[in-house]
Chain A
Amino acid sequence: MHDILLRVLDYTNTVFLFYFVAANIVYTILMILSLYTVSLHAIWARHKPYKDLADSPVTPPVALIVPAHNEENAIVQTVLSLLDLNYPEKEILVVDDGSTDSTVERLIEKFQLRPLDLIYRESLKTGRPKAIYHNPEWPQLFVLSVKHGGKPHALNSGINMARSPYFCTVDADCIIESDALLRLMAPVTQSTEETVVSGGIVRIANGCTIKEGRITKLDLPKTWIELCQTVEYIRTFLFGRPGWSALNATFITSGAFCLLHKESVIKAGGFSRDTVTEDIDMIASLRHYMAAHKRKYRIQFTTDPICWTEAPRTVKMLARQRRRWQLGLTQTILKNQNMMFNPKYGLTGLLSMPFHAYLEALGCVVEALGTVLIPVSYVVGGMPLSMFLVFMFLAIGYGTLLSMGSVVLEEITLRRYPKLKHVMILMAYAVLENIGYRQMVTIFRAQGVLQYFAGRKHWETVHHKGLEVAGAHGN
């Protein structure tokens, strides 16, 4: 019996070893590509090409669509930050997705909104909103109150109401930097190909102080879980996505802050309710549509338009968030599996999809099993110390290098953290997050994959406490 167990462990350990080696090789290639892209973009951005867009009549108008479900703590600050955006022509459409708290009331009170009976035309099937609120004194702002139908439904309602050729999805708990929309639009105006999506990066705002929709004091969060997420976000957005963007093979952009071409989205069928990560699904739908119509296009990811968001503050909420993301990724990949290894989709089909399927979606199950089985294997004598250390190095040691590298890249390019103390803390957590935090997140992600195979279709709600607002309540 013991021999059989050892034999099984031997085989599984070989699988784990191949997985870890392959994953680290791919991550290293992505890291090099990202380093190249991000550094050059940082140099290129020195002459601030986006500044010309601010006063150019040629800059396309943008509708900012904010789906909100029970966001009473954050919504006013978010809207204030959007009103304050430096952009020549914008409309702000807050879509209240059947909130049961006072999300709408807060907005009505702050902006003196009145219910109006405005025309609502359905380019995408959504049904008429329950109410539309507007105040001519804030001509850019409209609030739509719709029956609870989920984020995709809210986004589609916003698209129906939008008049601009581009729209930008913004999460209701996000603070957008003043020039971020201009920076997000810059790749669209500078490209000879049609740019249907332009994604920006998301940072953690926990610990920062906010006033009138602006971050007035940039600080790091206090708890380990939030600090680990801060490093994790930096790593994900600076070491990974820019690499795929350089290959024009972006498969994931964060729906928290993403610019999309309205007509293309409508023709691609709008946001779908088939998955719980409508943002990833939208990218896949657009790729399908563009490939089917043989249109030349780009899906761009840029590292300097920054959106600040609130991260989960407890392990329970973090677990829910990560399970949801993983469930959505798995749903999207399996829904669009015909893209896999399909040259019709270019490098997205040949490289990006297999990477996201095998390393990002299903890989976490292997990684989670490895996290549990490798120590067990060592303890029961199924693995020599030397092999155990190899695994530890691959799982932890190399990870610290990636995380440290991303913090350094942040410091060289974006430099959002003003104090040396901040950077040192981040570097410390770049090491520490690899011991415990990453393994924990891997297990949550694996649970997400299992949820998919167990037939789960809906997401778990993540509750936010709300960001720290300077002065009274900020509302």
Chain B
Amino acid sequence: MLYIEDLIVIVRWLALIVAIIDLVLVAYILLRRIARDRYYARKDAAHERFSVVVRQFGSGVSEMSHTVIALSKACTPAETAAVQELLIGSMTVENRERISDLLFQLGYVQTWAIQAFGRSRGKELMALITSGQPYAPAPKSWKQNFRKISRLRAFAVKRALPVAYFGHLAPRFAERLLAEALQDPSPYVTRPAVAALGKTLSPVAVPILLEQLRRASKGQSDIPVRAAKAALVRHSSGNLSEFLPFLESREERLRLLVVDTIREMLTSKPLLVADVPVELYDWFINHAVHDTSADVRARSAAVISRFHDRKSIDTLRALLCDEDEYVRLHSVRACADPFYSVMVEDLVGCMIDRRWRVREAAAKSLAAVGSAGARSLADFFLTTNDRYASEQIADELQRSGLIFQLVSMLGTSDLEADQAAAVCRKMAGMGMISLFSYLLQRDMPTPARNELTKILEACSAAQPESAGQQAPPPDDPTKNRTAPFLGTAVAPATTAAGD
């Protein structure tokens, strides 16, 4: 029976236990700090000691046998960590094979394999690598009954760490190890395995990754679609032929993901048209434009725009007229390339698209195709009566900084000074005077100042009935600077309607 009087004893004991635990925690921190300081001191020393050896080996100066003997002296955890870091850090495309071989000979690859797959399987894989035999999945064993437990994060995280290292190794080593990692029941292991497959840059990895993408697209895998795409994008465009069977898939989502991956691959690296397989080129030029999925057609535009030839121009023209908003949007964006300056008229036509996203993209693309595009943008701005198109162009002129160039031309003998003045006049007429008012309060060349003043005065004289509409609230921080013209401007047209 517990009496209330006994509580005092219990509390005393509990308080004592808490105090002891607190003291143990303090002691733990102290010891941990000391141990870490020692560890890093040793690691720094090892870095210094072995860096020359690693550098010489990496640059091909020293022999494998000498380097193995020299680096075998690293035996403490701090030293081996330092050597691993040095070797992985010094890897380049040229020396990857040699350094991978060195890591293998030093036994690091085996250690990682054992850590990731267990002692017996790790050694089996090492034997496969040594003998050059192809990868074979592990035969069924009693251990597979524990796959559900192996999935648990607590057990999987330690297996996942070495998998990240495999991605640095030459394909000869990495392929088998990563193929095994992909069989792991836990997503904490398979996800870094997919990322590592991307880093190997081995052509063998591409079909494996495409299969992962296919499974992810169907929701049959623990690998996120984005992870599979990110790994594929790292590979060179030389492997594009592997994508063809997937482009001909009947599943729209898979086709979309594959096209989007190709798009990312081509936009992140320089493309040699010679690298593009004829069948793939043919698919994009002749089939993509008729694909049943609007998303596929949309994403194809960016790929087609990378071909830079006559056929790509014709195909993009066809896509610009697509009935789907997103196809037109992506096609317009794809034309933001000086090569497509011949399509300026087509882009100008998109400035009156019924969707604002397309209009916005068209303005940006015109600004990006070079002087012809910028001139057409200005010409169209001056001639159009379409309010939304005008707003969009004015927005782009300001965002891109083109407006500053135009203002600097005012009052000069520049051939385009008249056009610049006309653009400024139209913007002022639309109520977009915030920038002009601001500039007038700053230092600017007298001719430009006079011209701008004239424009604003003419604008305010033409629309006296709108006086006060643009006046900022009393707490507007710009009110002092914009005072001379704010009272006479028209309402701003910058909240675009239209969808």
Bound Cα distance from A47 to B158, whole angstroms: 11
Roughly how many angstroms separate A192 CA and B475 CA in the complex, as a whole number? 48
**A398 surroundings in chain B (CB, below 8 A):** 18
Question: Does chain A have a CB within 8 A of B22?
Answer: yes
Asked whether B7 lies within 8 Å of A117 as measured between CB atoms, the reply is no
Chain B positions within 8 Å of A134 at CB level: 398-399
In the complex, the answer to whether B495 meets A122 with C-beta atoms within 8 Å is yes
With A119-B495, A130-B472, A386-B5 in contact, do A57 and B267 touch (Cβ < 8 Å)?
yes
Q: Which residues of B contact A105 (CB under 8 A)?
A: 477
> Is A461 positioned at the interface, with any CB of B under 8 Å from its CB?
no
Q: A397–B10 Cα gap in the complex (Å)?
A: 13
Chain B residues near A407: list those with CB within 8 A.
Answer: 25, 29
B195 within 8 A of A: yes
Question: Given contacts A47-B192, A57-B233, A398-B18, are A115 and B478 in contact (CB under 8 A)?
Answer: yes
CB proximity to B under 8 Å, residues A381-414: 384-387, 389-390, 392-393, 397-398, 400-401, 404-405, 407-408, 411-412
Categorize the interface residue count of chain A: 35 or more
B25, B230, B482, B496: the one contacting A121 at CB < 8 Å is B496
Q: A52 to chain B: closest CB distance in Å?
A: 6
Q: Which of chain A's residues have a CB closer than 8 A to the CB of B219? A: 192
Tell me the bound Cα distance from A115 to B489 in angstroms.
15
- The verdict on A46 contacting chain B, using a C-beta distance below 8 Å, is yes
In the assembled complex, B457 has its CB within 8 A of some CB on chain A:
no
A116 CB within 8 Å of chain B: yes
Residues of chain A lying within 8 A (CB to CB) of residue B10: 390
Instruction: Flag the segment in B221-229, B313-321, B443-451 that touches A.
Output: B221-229
Question: A58: CB under 8 A from chain B?
Answer: yes
Question: Which residues in chain A, 174-222, are within 8 Å of chain B measured between CB atoms?
Answer: 189-192
- The reply to whether B33 and A136 form a contact with Cβ atoms under 8 Å apart is no
Is A463 interfacial (CB 8 A cutoff)?
no
Q: Mark B381-414, 1 if CB is under 8 A from A, else 0.
A: 0000000000110110011110010000000000
Task: Name which of A49, A119, A408 has the most chain B CB atoms within 10 A of its CB.
Answer: A119
With a CB–CB cut-off of 8 A, which chain B residues contact A453?
none
Q: Which residues of A contact B461 (CB under 8 A)?
A: none
The docked-state distance in angstroms from the alpha carbon of A218 to that of B63 is 46
Q: Specify which of A52, A57, A98, A397 is in contact with B15 (CB 8 Å cutoff).
A: A397
Check A131–B434 contact: CB distance below 8 A. yes
CB <8 Å contact, A118 and B395: yes
Question: A104 CA to B478 CA in the complex, in Å?
Answer: 10
B188 to A408, Cβ gap below 8 A? no
Asked if B227 and A189 make an inter-chain contact with CB atoms under 8 angstroms apart, the answer reads yes
A224 within 8 Å of B by Cβ?
Answer: no
Number of A-B contacts (CB under 8 A): 174
Q: Which of A4-12, A36-44, A257-265, A372-380 contacts B (4 or more CB under 8 A)?
A: A36-44
- Residue A458, interface by CB 8 Å: no
Please give me the residue from chain A that is nearest to B481 by CB atom. A115
In Å, the complex CA distance between A401 and B298 comes to 58
- List, in ascending order, chain A residues with CB within 8 A of B33's CB: 420, 423
Closest Cβ of chain A to B4, distance in Å, is 6
Taken residue by residue from 30 to 63, chain A's Cβ proximity to chain B (1 for < 8 Å, 0 otherwise) reads as 0000001000100110110100100011110000
* Contact mask for chain B residues 162-183; partner A; CB cutoff 8 A; 1 contact, 0 none: 0011000000000000000000
Chain B residue contacts of A122, Cβ below 8 A:
495
B195 & A49 in contact (Cβ 8 Å cutoff) = yes
Residues of B within 8 A of A273 (CB): none
CB-based contact B4/A386 at 8 Å? yes
Bound-state CA distance A227–B432 (Å) is 51
The answer to whether B476 and A131 touch across the interface, beta carbons within 8 angstroms, is yes
Across the interface, name the chain B residue whose C-beta is closest to A131: B478
In the complex, what residues of A have CB within 8 A of residue B431's CB? 117
- Which residue of B has the minimal Cβ distance to A42? B157
A279 CB to closest chain B CB (Å) equals 26
With A and B bound together, what is the CA distance between A130 and B33 in angstroms? 54
CA distance A161 to B153 in the complex (A): 40
Complex alpha-carbon distance, A385 and B21, angstroms:
24
B230 in complex: contacting residue of A52, A104, A117, A384, CB < 8 Å:
A52
Contact (Cβ within 8 A) B222 A427: no
Residue A100 is within 8 A (CB to CB) of chain B in the complex? yes
Question: A389 touching B11 by the CB < 8 A rule?
Answer: yes
Residues of A contacting B427 with CB < 8 Å? 117
A147 within 8 A of B: yes
CB 8 Å contact bits of B436-456 with A (1 = contact, 0 = none): 011100000000000000000
Q: In the bound complex, how far is the Cα of B435 from the Cα of A407, in angstroms? A: 52
B346 in the interface, Cβ–Cβ < 8 Å?
Answer: no
Contact with A along B460-491 (1 / 0, CB 8 A): 00000000000011011110001000000000
A and B contact pairs by CB, cutoff 8 A, 15 listed: A44-B188, A49-B191, A52-B195, A58-B229, A58-B233, A115-B482, A117-B398, A117-B432, A137-B401, A190-B227, A192-B187, A192-B216, A192-B223, A400-B22, A404-B25
Q: Which 9 A-B pairs have the closest CB atoms?
A: A136-B401, A47-B164, A117-B432, A115-B434, A386-B8, A386-B7, A58-B230, A389-B11, A116-B398
Which residues of B does A touch, CB under 8 Å? 4-8, 10-12, 14-15, 18, 21-22, 25-26, 28-30, 32-33, 153-154, 157-158, 160-161, 164-165, 187-188, 191-192, 195, 216, 219, 221-224, 226-227, 229-230, 233, 264, 267-268, 356, 360, 391-392, 394-395, 398-401, 404, 427, 431-435, 437-439, 472-473, 475-478, 482, 492, 494-496
